[in-house]
Structure 1
Amino acid sequence: MEGGRVSIYKAARSIKRRDNSLYNALRSIYNDSIFVGEISELWPQLPLVANLRCGLWYSPNFHSTCYFKSTDGHTNNCSFSTSRLNLHLLNLARLKGGCIIVDSTRRGKRFPDSMSKTIPIWTCVLNRAIKDFHDSNDEHALDWDCSLHLPLWVPQTEKASIEERLEEWTQKLKASGADIASLAACLRKPLRPLWISQKTVIWLNEVPHHESWDFTPIILVSASSSTGVSQHRTTSEFSWNYIPGAGDDEESWARGLTPGLFWKHVYDIINSGPDVCNQKVADIVEKSRVSWACRGENALQITVKPAKSVSLSHEESSVALDISNIKINTESSEDSGICWLGSTNVALGTSQIAADEANVDCILNCDRESMSVCLPNAESYLHLPMVSSKFDRFSLLNNLPKAASFAKLNLGQGKRLLVCCNNGEDISVCVCLGILMSLFDEKGTFDDGKSFNVKQVSKWDMRRRLVYVCNFATNARPSRGNLRQVFNFLIGGKDFQHVDTARDG
């Protein structure tokens, strides 16, 4: 009997692995992307935005990205995160009249919690903060809707519990350092979410123009079918099993493939069929890796340009700047450059593009792998390999003193510093946060750490500065564990300037 149970278990696992194969996932994503494209064509003026990371798989034509977590919208555990304000979306909505956000979820749900509750809470809190700003300046906005708009399937009891916390979250936003005045200047009409899934019925001859609405639409598109039944599909050449929300948890199935690589080679991959797909993807990933390695070996000599002032201009004097300064990526979903943090002479980006960046004087590489760079001297490059807190809870904490000392030495000479990591979203963001907190005053002016040495840093101070960083690094997604290490460094790192930054050997 026991042997029979084991064999049944193994058989079930084998069936699950077969159903969740790489080809099934990519073919499901491709099919769902057709639906996303159809919705995008209904409002072609509205930019398509991917909710990281799952949403990024479902179109090759994203205008920008955002980061709303489903955990912030879990039942009876909703929250409003000041570390994920996504304020660049307001500037995008102002310029384009709204936006379309794409995400997906696994079998059994029509929408992920990020769309059911996280984003609706976000729109409501922002609307309330903007209305309060207008009221405090005797600029009473007519019919400025501050209501909480949730989809019909959210129970009234849960809606009531969320509404009880809206004022608390609004005050939290105001205290975060976000520039509410700039937010108010961005929007002519209040934000409001709308929900579209594959089950939504849309009469094509009655699609309203987005400018006809009395609100700024944030259209939430759930890309996948919500059926709870396994769907076996067949084309003229291949048969495959449909996976709802296939783009989720890419580490478990993508085998190193990224959304950018997928869409670059989409027809080769889809037409390869289930038997050849794994090898086809492996070849694509390996060729991409070799290509990046060759770029590193053949990196051009970095040109040293005259140093610019490290102090912020008058318009940039506050911790949270006007979000109109944010650079929106209009080329693709892949990060195509680096993000300069105002006029601080500090930038962050990915290690893949760091070696070819010609507008920096020194590089702090936080990636696991070193890189070939051509800089004026050896002291202009420092490699401090760091890993996420999931793998080492003290990796950042142990390296931040040397990182801050390296930044202090170079920024003090008016040099332009680039901090890079593997994806430019987490570790490099946290390192930049530590540098700005320890070497710059509250106005964003480099002061060699003087204000840091005489002030006791609080978590709110760090959150306010993180808002500043995220205003420019719109793809920033710092993890809680890494942020905790930054805070521990700040409350115990007054003597970092004495750390020897000389590299071994």
Structure 2
Amino acid sequence: MTQPLSELDIIFPHLSNNPKFSSTLISLKRSALSIHNRLNSITLDSKFVTSVSEAYQLPLVANERCGSWYIHPEKKAEGVYFKSTDGHMSQWGFSLRRLNLQLLDVVQKHGGAVVVDSTRRGKSMPDALSKTIPIWCCVINRTLFGTDGEHAMYTPPQAVSSSEHAQISSKIDGFVQQFLEICKPNVPELRAKLQKPLRPIWVTQQSSLPDPPTVFEDFHPVVLCTASRRVQGAESSEGGYVQGAADDHEAWSHGLTPPVFWKNKDLLMSASDEDAPAIISELLEQAASVRTSSGTTLIKPTSTLYIAATQNIDLSGFDIVITCTPEPLPLESIKAAKLKHYLPLICRTGKLGSRDLRTELSLLPTFLSSLHFPSAPPKILLSCPTGTDLSVGAALTVLCLFSDDHGNIDLSTQRSEHDIDKILIKQRLSWITTSNPSLNPSRTTLQSVNNVLFSGGNAQQMRAQITDRMHTAIKPLHHHHHVPKNIFTALQNTDWKFHRTLTSALPTHPSGTVDGTATFTPVVVPTTPPTLLYAEQGEFVTDTGLTFTARRKYVYQLLSEDEGGSEGVVVKFFDDEAVPRGSGVGRNGEGIGGVFVEMGDVVPGESGQEVMRARNKEQHLCAEDLYTAAWEFGAGMVGKEGGVWWEVRYDVKGPKKDYVSRTRYERVKNEV
């Protein structure tokens, strides 16, 4: 017998086939929360926000990141970061990380401000407006005007119960004490910005706006504007209107930002939901292509520490640049800026980069403490792809290690890990976030900073890693200035005296010193690159008192870019058996043996241009022994004013050898 139709069959006829009812509701909700509906709701709410600004004749300040969507960029006076979580039940707090003192500058200039935020359906206003900012206003008032209790805390009675209000009020004086003790604000300077206390005023779309504008004699108004109207039912019942449409924009915006939205509002509003993602992607690419480096931020109270995004970065005028990027900066950019000190911290993007930072940051203290600026503090730039995360972590490390409480940075004085605590880190972080509210490091980045600051590090190991980084990552600045050729020329234009120390870890190999002379004799061989025959003779005195004569020969050759891939110096063995004893290299290259060590790129040493350094490109295996070489050259060796000297160190490891040989060569001055 046929069953009669039910109400369910009429309203949702497809449900007679027994699909999940929830799939229909999900489909309806997605339709109501479409990109078009969200952007349209934002546009409608922005008109109300503008009317609030006009009614109170006060500038608009966005509580980032939601608030910026409701304010046209041309009307946005400032941005602040007040977290709703600091207003959650039993979690009330005054953020020492984000002091938001830039809001006082707006109040000083205009007499007050309108702070804009919104929240999703179910609430009349966000906790940031109902509790977090009122807490902040009360703490600032009592800090600047006294803690005698006269400056009460104000909360909206329709959103905050009397019991919760009382519990929050009991914590205010504790927040004031933390602010003063940990952040150490300049109270007289802040007090000069306010002629009277701050007072929060709440405005929603159900509020009556003043007409004409009200004059506030006793306080500076901080108008807390909830942009969206409150929705009681589901989104589908509102004809496409979405309360708090900008909230959690990461989940729906496809990367769209408020500036890009407002610049292209008409185009985006006319696009279908199917076409919107592709249009947004194209607009974001266009915005990225025209982005400039104007976003460089000076971290106050310092006068020399800056943070910027890496794209189109301007290096000119900086003494030290540190980047946190997957790849080092192009050599052309470094050369064009005449940059002397550059350290790339190799970090991937996103969360992976924050994890990489834990290892990379350990290089930073040793690198900076090795630099010397006796006349004036250096101008330092730290950069990462966004300019708001990894570079902030690096800047925080610099501030904790090298700055005093007044913001003076001294690289010659590094704070010990025993003198660093969480209070110091919070204080230095507040300098950064106050200088620019958008500088918002992730939790993982901050954890990496803490790991480095509290764990210290092996300075000698860090120096070796930094030297390796300068060789393998930077592709040194002076490579194209013919430094290897200058060194090769300097070797043959003078006689040398040398002093060598040999330190052996094994009793079978003697330790001691060698003093002697060395010469570099030019050799002309048609089929080989420029060649010098190195010959030394000296007296070896062992630690046990034995003395004997030491002689040695090597062959030095200058490789051109065509011959060796890059211009450089290679040291080869000299084969005595290939030529008559006592003679030099044969006419056809007899005596020139295999490669001993090949000098890598020559880069500035720890003291900048005064010393140049190099390491061998690869460790050399001689029989069973492994050789590692490192060189230092005085300025006079590379065509500059300064000392004519050089040093070479060999580290030798093997089953029967374990020693270090250090030799310093100095020019023999001709006596008249």
TM-score interval, smaller chain = 0.7 to 0.9
Asked if 1:71 corresponds to 2:76, the answer is no
Q: Give 1:363's aligned residue.
A: 321
Deviation track 1:181-205 (CA, whole Å, cap 9, x = no partner) reads: 2222221100111111111122534
Residue of structure 2 in register with 1:165 after alignment: 171
Counterparts in 2 of 1:69 and 1:254: CA distance versus 1, 3 Å: same
TM-score, scaled to structure 1: 0.79
Counterpart of 1:283? Answer: 282
Name the counterpart of 1:310: none
1 CA distance for matches of 2:327 and 2:263?
25
2:417–2:453 Cα contact (<8 Å) kept: no
2:217 matched to 1:217? Answer: no
Partner of 2:190 in structure 1? 183
Q: Which amino acid aligns with 1:245?
A: G
Distance 1:398 1:102 in 2: 40
Tell me the amino acid that sits aligned with residue 268 of structure 2.
I
TM-score, with normalisation over the residues of structure 2?
0.61
Q: Please give the alpha-carbon distance, in whole angstroms, between the structure 2 residues aligned to 1:37 and 1:15.
A: 32
Residue 304 (structure 2) aligned to one of 342, 345, 348: 345
Alignment deviations for residues 285-334 of structure 1 (CA, whole Å, 9 cap, x no partner): 23334445xx7xxx9xxxxxxxxxxxxxxxxxxxxxxxxxxxxxxxxxxx
- Computing the radius of gyration over CA atoms, which structure comes out larger, 1 or 2? 2
Are 2:399 and 1:436 equivalent residues in the alignment? yes
Q: Deviations over 1:254-278 (max 9, x none)?
A: 1121111111111221133445433
Q: Tell me, in whole angstroms, the C-alpha distance in 2 between the residues paired with 1:415 and 1:33.
A: 45
Q: Distance in 1 between matches of 2:54 and 2:62?
A: 16
CA-to-partner distance for each residue in 1:160-219, whole Å, 9 max, x for gaps? 1111111111100111222222222221100111111111122534x313xx33101111
Alignment of 1:147-296 (within 5 A): 147-153=152-158, 154-176=160-182, 177-205=184-212, 207-209=213-215, 212-230=216-234, 241-292=240-291
When residues 175 and 59 of structure 1 are mapped into structure 2, their CA distance, relative to the original with a 3 A threshold, is same
Letter in 1 for 2:54: E
Q: How many residues align?
A: 444
Q: Percent identity?
A: 30
**Aligned equivalents of 1:11 and 1:407: distance in 2?**
61
Structure 1 residue 455: Cα displacement: 4.3
CA shift for structure 1 position 11: 3.0
Q: Distance in 1 between matches of 2:185 and 2:17?
A: 61
Equivalent-residue separation in structure 2 for 1:451 and 1:132 (angstroms): 37
| Structure 2 residue aligned with 1:25 | 38
2:83–2:132: 8 Å Cα contact kept in structure 1?
yes
Amino acid at match of 2:70: Y
Which residues in structure 2 correspond to 1:41-80 (within 5 Å)?
41-44=54-57, 46-60=58-72, 61-80=75-94
Q: In the alignment, what sits opposite 1:317? A: none
Query: Where does the alignment leave 5 or more consecutive residues of structure 1 unmatched?
Result: 136-143, 235-239, 300-334
Residue 407 to residue 452, structure 1, CA distance change in 2 (3 Å): same
Question: SS in structure 2 opposite 1:419?
Answer: strand
Name 2:494's counterpart in structure 1. none
Query: Which stretch has the larger CA shift, 376-385 or 465-474?
Result: 376-385
Letter paired with 1:118: T
The amino acid across from 2:260 in the alignment is L
Secondary structure at the aligned position of 1:187 is classed as coil
Q: Could you say if the C-alpha distance between residues 481 and 5 of structure 1 is closer, same or farther in structure 2, counting changes exceeding 3 Å? A: farther
The offset of 1:31, in angstroms, is: 1.3
In structure 2, give the amino acid aligned to 1:63. A
Contact 2:345 2:357 in 1 (8 A): no
CA shift in 2, pair 1:120/1:31, >3 Å: same
Partner deviation per Cα, 1:423-473 (whole Å, 9 max, x = no partner) = 333332222111111122334333326341374211111122222333323
- Measured after TM superposition, the shift of residue 226 of structure 1 is 1.2
Partner of 2:533: none
State the alpha-carbon separation in 2 of the partners of residues 163 and 268 from structure 1.
Answer: 48
Aligned partner of 1:102 in structure 2 is 116
* 1:271–1:449 Cα change, 3 Å: same
Alignment of 1:348-427 (within 5 A): 348-353=307-312, 355-356=313-314, 358-367=316-325, 373=333, 374-377=336-339, 379-380=341-342, 382-385=344-347, 387=349, 394-408=355-369, 412=373, 414-427=377-390
Amino acid at match of 1:259: P
| SS of 1:36 mapped into structure 2 | helix
Aligned equivalents of 2:267 and 2:99: distance in 1? 38
CA distance change for structure 1 residues 246 and 339 in 2, over 3 Å: closer, same or farther? Answer: farther
1:364 touches 1:384 (CA, 8 Å); kept in 2? no
Structure 2: how far apart are the matches of 1:451 and 1:403?
Answer: 12
Counterpart of 1:183 in structure 2: which amino acid? L
Is the CA contact (8 Å cut-off) linking 1:388 and 1:482 kept in structure 2?
Answer: no
**Greater RCO, CA 8 A, separation 6+:** 1
Q: 1:376 & 1:103 partners in 2: Cα distance?
A: 46
Q: Which residue is equivalent to 1:324?
A: none
1:488 aligns with 451
- Helix, strand or coil: the match of 1:366? strand
The alpha carbon displacement at 1:379 in A equals 5.0
Separation in structure 2 between the aligned mates of residue 281 and residue 411 of structure 1, nearest angstrom: 48
Instruction: Tell me how large the CA RMSD over aligned residues is.
Output: 3.0
Q: SS where residue 93 of structure 1 aligns?
A: helix
CA separation of 1:4 and 1:13: change in aligned 2, threshold 3 A: farther
Q: What is the alpha-carbon distance in structure 2 between the residues aligned to residue 165 and residue 184 of structure 1?
A: 22
Q: What is the rounded CA distance, in whole Å, between the counterparts of 1:132 and 1:57 in structure 2?
A: 37
Q: Which moved more, 1:258-267 or 1:405-414?
A: 405-414
Q: Counterpart of 1:156 in structure 2: which amino acid?
A: S
| Secondary structure in 2 matching 1:251 | helix
Distance 2:125 2:459 in 1: 47
Q: 1:261 to 1:198 in 2, by over 3 A?
A: same
**Does the CA-based 8 Å contact 1:230-1:241 persist in structure 2?**
no
Quick one: which of 99, 106, 114 aligns to 1:92? 106
Shift of 1:493: 2.1
Between the aligned partners of 1:81 and 1:449, the Cα distance in structure 2 is: 33
1:30 and 1:368 mapped to 2: Cα distance?
39
1:203 to 1:430, Cα distance in 2 relative to 1, 3 A: same
In 2, Cα distance between equivalents of 1:275 and 1:447: 56
Query: Structure 2 regions of 5+ residues with no counterpart?
Result: 1-14, 474-672
Say whether the 8 Å CA contact 2:32–2:235 is kept in structure 1: no
Q: Distance in 2 between matches of 1:246 and 1:450?
A: 51
Deviation at 1:383, TM superposition (A): 4.7
Q: Which among 459, 468, 472 is matched to residue 422 of structure 2?
A: 459
**Greater than 6 Å deviation, 4+ residue runs:** 2-6
1:478 and 2:441 correspond = yes
**Cα 1:267/1:368, change in 2 over 3 Å:** farther
